[in-house]
């Protein structure tokens, strides 16, 4: 993905600092490419917050290698100001990661059982508490995998075509 202002990385840094102050040992993995000046600014902010040693800068990762990166982590923290449907969220869940995400988009449904939703305006303490809650939460990843499996989606599309054909023959 693209690392830019809307990803709200500065807020993530502040949350990492709060988690460290709570006695946790957070390590933040940042994946994605972005403007060199912006990344330099982020690195400077991380030093100012004294969390620079807690950050792993991965840069661009080819898509086939992303599951390995997900496997190295425990949670996805997505605090974007705006998103469409973030593929990273679905990929992370399918790889078994817990997720804390901003309500900059909303999927609803049973994903509420998996995702801990936060508001980007929430203070860092509240978001840190949601991360701790998510880390301690048991999730049923199989339900997600079944709901979004290719075979299930194929069946849903087949059902739509069958209903469409039935309507056309009735008229």
The C-alpha atoms of residue 169 and residue 38 are separated, in whole angstroms, by 59
The C-alpha atoms of residue 5 and residue 7 are separated, in whole angstroms, by 5
What CATH code is assigned to 2-139? 3.40.50.2000
Chain segment 23-71, per-residue pLDDT in tens? 999 999 999 999 999 999 999 999 999 999 999 999 999 989 999 999 9
What is the predicted pLDDT for the residue at 72? 96
Going from N- to C-terminal start, the domains of the chain cover 2-139, 141-171
- pLDDT value at 6 more than 70: yes
Per the CB < 8 A criterion, the answer to whether 88 and 16 are in contact is no
What is the reported pTM? 0.80
Chain segment 91-150, per-residue pLDDT in tens? 888 888 899 999 877 666 667 778 899 999 999 999 999 999 999 988 777 777 777 666
């Amino acid at each position: 993905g693209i690392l830019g202002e809307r990803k709200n990385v500065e807020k993530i840094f502040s949350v990492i600092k709060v988690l460290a102050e709570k006695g946790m040992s957070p390590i933040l993995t940042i994946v994605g490419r972005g403007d060199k000046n912006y990344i330099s600014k982020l690195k400077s902010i991380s030093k100012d917050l004294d969390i620079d040693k807690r950050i792993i800068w991965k840069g661009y990762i080819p898509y086939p290698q992303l599951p390995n990166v997900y496997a190295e982590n425990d949670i996805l923290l997505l605090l974007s100001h705006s998103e469409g449907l973030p593929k990273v969220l679905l990929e992370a869940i399918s790889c078994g990661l817990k997720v804390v995400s901003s309500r900059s988009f909303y999927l609803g449904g049973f994903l509420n059982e998996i995702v801990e939703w936060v508001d980007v305006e929430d203070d860092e303490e509240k978001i840190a508490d949601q991360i701790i809650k998510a880390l301690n939460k048991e999730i049923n990843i199989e339900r997600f995998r079944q709901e979004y499996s290719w075979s299930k989606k194929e069946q849903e599309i087949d059902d739509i075509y069958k209903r469409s054909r039935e309507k056309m023959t009735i008229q």
